[in-house]
Structure 1
Amino acid sequence: MLWACIRLPHLALDAVLRRVEDPARPLALVSGPAQLRSLHAVNDSAADAGLRPGMRLTAAHALCSDVALIEHDDTTESRCQRFLAAWAYRHSSLVSAQWSGAIVLEASASFRLFGPWPRFERRLRDELGVLGFRHRIALAPTPRAALVFAGLRDGYTLIDPDALAGTLDRVPVRRAALPDDAGERLHRMGVRTLQDARALPRDGLRRRFGVDLSGHLDRLYGEADDPLEWYQPPDHFDMRVELGYEVENHQALLFPLRRLVRDLAVYLSARDGGVQRFTMRLEHEQGHTDVPVGLLAAERDAALLMDIARNRLEQATIERPVVGLRLLAKELPPFVPVARDLFDTRPSQAVPWPQLRERLRARLGDDAVYRIAPSGDPRPERAWQRAGVDEDALCVRDAPVRPARPTWLLPQPVPLHAHGVRIVSGPERLESGWWDGDDVRRDYYVLETAQGQRAWAYADPGHRDGWMLHGWFA
């Protein structure tokens, strides 16, 4: 087995930068008690201005007065790590996020699907770049060795298990990701490398550092099984963006909404599912406003979900300022892609009917899109009925067998003022409606006018004059 480790050295900062509209502006995360506020992390623009992690807030303001300050939240960092574990789950069935700031996944079983490691690695990096997370990746025969190598050098690859021990022996103890502060303590004792640490008597090492260090070394070198905490995707999606300022219009919510919808699409792809209902929760200083979004079938296309969510949001009324946006999806049915013919002649830019239907419903309203279903009444005005777009059983029901009907049926019959008409077919007698007081008794004909138009008209039974036009054939 080969294990890939994705280290996320700037996870807390990236979690914030990916949701701000101008990530190039100087920005810093702050933490600490009210009287001792300090910088937890800074972006590149803030670093160019002289700001550094650990700097007091007063000194940071003196160096860069226009720096944007955001409160550091550990829960946001852990939430992003779980999200990335869900993303990694789409590439491997064995994923672990038990180490802070790192994702480990078994890679060798995925080579048959994604290609050899260089191609698989490029895929991981491209997707992480789109998601907005800086990273370091390494490959090794054990998960802990991959974690160590990712911290030493980005892109490090070790495939041969026989070379693992010799490579690890040269790793400095302070950079070997040993449990707690064991690496620093060993360095103060004069132990410089992992080879020196392994040469120490096991009993003495266990008495001084406990059993965790010995077990860690055995798992690091692959001499003992490593029971990792495997990631299991949750059965719901819940992501939140704190805006940091009050928003009173829909336009300012579109940027964070787009990021949340993209994350939802990644999550759905990881669990090979779709979403049929989700909720946009607009959080206020007091309370919240829910904007529900419902689809007729499970979908997971990010562009479609964003288009529908935007239209639903624009129809909502923002009565109070919004300080946070949350996306909740609890109903996640299986996703069944629409089947297409191998030799489909549809233009490449054409929108599939299910997606067009959802976009029309979101923009025009749920009642503006409907189907036409046949009824059992032979009267042309009542031969069809309106049905919902999801009433498949009603719409696929076999219609009564009838002769050809015109494409354009007039709302009400009108006299046909035409000379030289020719009867093409007919008559077709329709006699019905005695039970509801709207009794009709007509003989319908297909007529051709002198201009070549084909009309659907009727006359009184037994007569061939006094034509009443009821429709036109295409």
Structure 2
Amino acid sequence: MWLYCHFPQLLLDNRVRLQPESNTLPLAFHQLQGSQSVIVQCNARALECGVRPQLQTVMAISLCEQLQLMEYSSEREEQALQQLATHLYQWAAKLVLYPPQGLAIELNSLEQLYGGRNGAFNVLAQKVQELPVTSQLAVADNSLAAQLLAEFGSPVSLLAERQANLLAELPIQNAGLSLKAQKHSKAAGFRLLGELMQLPGGEVGRQLGLETLLHLEQLQGLKQQSHNFFMPPESFQQSLDLVTEIPHWQGLLFPLKRLFGELENFLYQRQKVVQQVKVELQHRNEPPSVVPVALAEPGWRGSNFLSLLQLKMESIPLPEPVIEIRLVANELLRAEQHNEQFFGAQQHR
């Protein structure tokens, strides 16, 4: 049994989490699709102005002159997904990433730990819903079926019969088929996935190809899926695109505080400490400004690193306004070797 978590606007939610003030303005991410730029994610303020996903960017600007536009990056969204997986790894070790917006959690191995299948689902669902991101959940016998149900927004059910019915009710265009298979299926009069699954396997292979046949067999559990289980990263790297260019250090303090807070949570969850981090400030035309920050002894408190960085700020002029901040911590150490720093309140000067 698998729990699939779909995060339909993960990049936007991650932006708002790190920069809450950006949510006070109409904000949207756009992407080039074919020859046109379209909106892919937008916040509530943009929705109020009539901006919607799949709307052409030119039309979105005409509807909302104050719209703040940012370029969508699947790589950045995948980084945010990995951060969610690292957080959820505390409660479930068997996670599979489906970049850039989804992850699956294997539930069978957690039944004994959480008191049965219902208990495992309830614990994991609660942990996911506590995250500051929009999520759609689904449960099915295999991760592929759970993925399709979650992405479509089907209701959650732990009953196998109900899951099968929900899967059968999926429209062909939401069944995970190739565009060619969708076209041929509709031309043959199929509108729902269940209608297609009733065909004999040989007929599916002849009409729609072996790839479609394998897909349907995996959905029905007739073919096993292979999984690459997630392992938490051995270093911390997080970037933050700024909604507006910031020309001075003072304006960077709040986003920097957020990033160091993320580092602190990362270290605490993994019981790690670090002695030196690197702050990279990206500019539009100039090379990045790189600022190393090192404690006297390894620690995990983000506030300690931020305090040291503030002492350096006055002596480091910014050649240009900053458009992006990147925080990197590579050399992580076990916290058990530094118990007095990890659990104590020692201050670093």
TM-score (norm. length: structure 1): 0.63
Runs of 4+ residues over 6 Å off in structure 1: 337-340
Asked if the contact 1:173/1:184 (under 8 Å) is kept, the reply is no
Which letter does structure 1 place at the counterpart of 2:312? A
What is the distance in 2 between the residues matched to 1:211 and 1:36? 33
2:309 corresponds to which residue? 313
Decide which moves more: 249-258 or 172-181. Answer: 172-181
1:120 to 121, 124, 143: 124
- The answer on 1:76 being equivalent to 2:96 is no
What is the distance in 1 between the residues matched to 2:342 and 2:80? 35
What is the distance in 2 between the residues matched to 1:72 and 1:212? 30
What is the distance in 1 between the residues matched to 2:176 and 2:267? 33
Relative to 1, partners in 2 of residues 1:18 and 1:191: Cα closer, same or farther, differing over 3 Å?
A: same
Which letter does structure 2 place at the counterpart of 1:76? R
1:292 corresponds to which residue? 292
Larger relative contact order, structure 1 or 2 (CA cutoff 8 Å, min sep 6): 2
1:44 corresponds to which residue? 44
Relative to 1, partners in 2 of residues 1:266 and 1:109: Cα closer, same or farther, differing over 3 Å?
A: farther
Which letter does structure 2 place at the counterpart of 1:190? G
- 1:415-426 aligned within 5 A: none
Greater fraction of residues in helix: 2
Secondary structure, in 3 states, of the residue corresponding to 1:232?
coil
Relative to 1, partners in 2 of residues 1:270 and 1:147: Cα closer, same or farther, differing over 3 Å?
A: farther
Deviation at 1:46, TM superposition (A): 1.1
1:251 corresponds to which residue? 250
* Number of residues of Structure 1 aligned to a counterpart in Structure 2: 338
Secondary structure, in 3 states, of the residue corresponding to 2:105?
strand
The two structures, once aligned, show a CA RMSD in angstroms of 3.0
Relative to 1, partners in 2 of residues 1:339 and 1:354: Cα closer, same or farther, differing over 3 Å?
A: closer
1:194 corresponds to which residue? 193
1:284-340 per-residue CA deviation (whole Å, 9 max, x = no partner) reads 34223333233466544xxx21x1122122112341133321111111122329879
Which letter does structure 2 place at the counterpart of 1:316? K
Which letter does structure 1 place at the counterpart of 2:167? L
- 1:66-465 aligned within 5 A: 66-113=66-113, 116=119, 117-126=121-130, 128-129=131-132, 133-153=133-153, 156-160=156-160, 164-180=163-179, 182-183=181-182, 185-268=184-267, 271-284=270-283, 285-295=285-295, 299-300=299-300, 304-305=301-302, 307-317=303-313, 318-320=316-318, 321-336=321-336, 355-357=344-346, 360-361=347-348, 365=349
Deviation at 1:106, TM superposition (A): 1.2
What is the distance in 1 between the residues matched to 2:86 and 2:287? 30
Task: Give unmatched runs, 5+ long, in structure 1.
Answer: 341-351, 366-474
What is the distance in 1 between the residues matched to 2:179 and 2:299? 45
Relative to 1, partners in 2 of residues 1:39 and 1:169: Cα closer, same or farther, differing over 3 Å?
A: closer
Relative to 1, partners in 2 of residues 1:51 and 1:278: Cα closer, same or farther, differing over 3 Å?
A: same
Deviation at 1:4, TM superposition (A): 1.0
Relative to 1, partners in 2 of residues 1:106 and 1:271: Cα closer, same or farther, differing over 3 Å?
A: farther
Secondary structure, in 3 states, of the residue corresponding to 2:251?
helix
Asked if the contact 1:11/1:134 (under 8 Å) is kept, the reply is yes
Secondary structure, in 3 states, of the residue corresponding to 1:97?
strand
- The structure whose Rg is larger is 1
Task: Give unmatched runs, 5+ long, in structure 2.
Answer: none
What is the distance in 1 between the residues matched to 2:183 and 2:52? 23
Deviation at 1:7, TM superposition (A): 0.3
Percent identity of the aligned residues?
Answer: 25
Deviation at 1:103, TM superposition (A): 0.8
1:11 corresponds to which residue? 10
1:391 corresponds to which residue? none
Asked if the contact 2:218/2:225 (under 8 Å) is kept, the reply is yes
Secondary structure, in 3 states, of the residue corresponding to 1:40?
strand
Deviation at 1:63, TM superposition (A): 2.1
Deviation at 1:164, TM superposition (A): 4.8
Which letter does structure 2 place at the counterpart of 1:319? P
Secondary structure, in 3 states, of the residue corresponding to 2:329?
strand
Relative to 1, partners in 2 of residues 1:14 and 1:353: Cα closer, same or farther, differing over 3 Å?
A: closer
Deviation at 1:138, TM superposition (A): 1.7
Deviation at 1:125, TM superposition (A): 0.9
TM-score (norm. length: structure 2): 0.83
1:387 corresponds to which residue? none
